[in-house]
Amino acid sequence: MSYESALAARLVPYVPGEQPKGRKLIKLNTNEHPYGPSPRVKQAMDEAMARLRLYPDAEATALREAIAQVNGLRPEQVFCGNGSDEVLAFAFAAFFSGKKLYAPSITYSFYPVYADLFGVMYEPVPLHDDFTVDVESLCQGGPVVLANPNAPTSLFLDMQAIEKLAAYTKEKGEVLLVDEAYAAFAPDNARRLLDRYENLLIVRTFSKSHGLAGLRVGYAMGSPELIASLRKVRDSFNSYPLDCLAQAGAREAMLDVAWTEETVGKICQTRDRCIARLRQKNVPVFDSATNFLFVKADATDAKHVQEALRERGILVRYFSGNVLCRYLRISVGTDEEMDRMTDALLDILGKT
């Protein structure tokens, strides 16, 4: 006998990247920050330890104020959650439930999971042959969600295209959700569009550019009306999503703009150098506006390349599927890690 509800029985959950235990590996499979958070984070979290007997600030006021300050917004335009995944979940419930949602066919694979969970009709829209987003085909009368830069392709959609989607969805009375998990590594972002499009919601994370993947902090930026809807969903589920330590640490990470800019700059330099070296050896690599590479590692299926890299102590991400299975997603690590990865990959591919 099964005690599962019909909902639980039909769910196909998201599968995260491997977090290895035991054997020490060069970990380039989950797009984590290779240099870690600002040194200011630890001191702030140490001070917050004295408040652990109390419930945290349900509104994450100090953190929202810091995010607003750095992004030129008002605190009522900012919402914080337990990782950007939770923020995305609240957004799906708040804005897409019972509707048909349009998304690129290749994108963050949590979107269809949330759609099933929250009663959303999910309509994947095929990409162009070069893996770029088909903006025209996303304009079908409903709300839209997309990651920009996209994952796992690493490609960036310019702001003219994002504004076109914002204007179209606004005209239709729907929300455009832009998932900017990798925005810090890209040449531009949608922040300035918030001033003109009250239907635009931007979701970001502290995991990639701020080195806080283990702390689980994400946030949304949008109009006060959209933020109020997110709060309503949150308070119907869990009114204390962010603990004291997470709020304190993330606040300092956000305010230490110099540390973020310095480390993001180093990651981008390493990324571009690695792309150039692979291309010199005729290994196809997409242009990247993220902290990872999307590499065509085999003409039919790159699983054996991933496994060969793992045997050499290097962990990268493989995606099954008719199109993605030919590619590997490789997070950008330190210069030393990327040199070792590149040497190993070129040797496996016979391109040394």
Q: What is the CATH number of the domain that holds 189?
A: 3.40.640.10
Among 235, 256, 277, the domain-final residue is 256
Check residue 93 and give its pLDDT.
Answer: 97
Q: Is residue 1 part of a domain?
A: no
Residues 224 and 291 in one domain: no
- Full pLDDT tens readout for the chain, 352 residues: 788 888 888 888 888 777 877 778 999 999 999 999 999 999 999 999 999 999 999 999 999 999 999 999 999 999 999 999 999 999 999 999 999 999 999 999 999 999 999 999 999 999 999 999 999 999 999 999 999 999 999 999 999 999 999 999 999 999 999 999 999 999 999 999 999 999 999 999 999 999 999 999 999 999 999 999 999 999 999 888 899 999 999 999 999 999 999 999 999 999 999 999 999 999 999 999 999 999 999 999 999 999 999 999 999 999 988 789 999 999 999 999 999 999 999 999 998 8
The residues, any chain, with a CB within 8 Å of residue 175's CB and separated by 6 or more, are 91, 95, 96, 143, 144, 169, 199, 200, 201, 226
Count how many residues are written for the chain.
Answer: 352
CATH number at 29 reads 3.90.1150.10
pLDDT of residue 352: 80
What pLDDT score was predicted for residue 64?
98
**Confidence (pTM):** 0.95
Q: Which domain holds residue 273?
A: 6-36+258-348
Q: What is the pLDDT of residue 316?
A: 97
Domain count within the chain: 2
Distance CA(187)–CA(293), nearest Å, equals 16
pLDDT at 14: 80
Q: Count how many Cα atoms sit within 13 Å of the Cα of residue 66 in the half-sphere of its side chain.
A: 19
Among the candidates 227, 256, 285, a domain finishes at 256
Q: Are residues 73 and 119 in the same domain?
A: yes
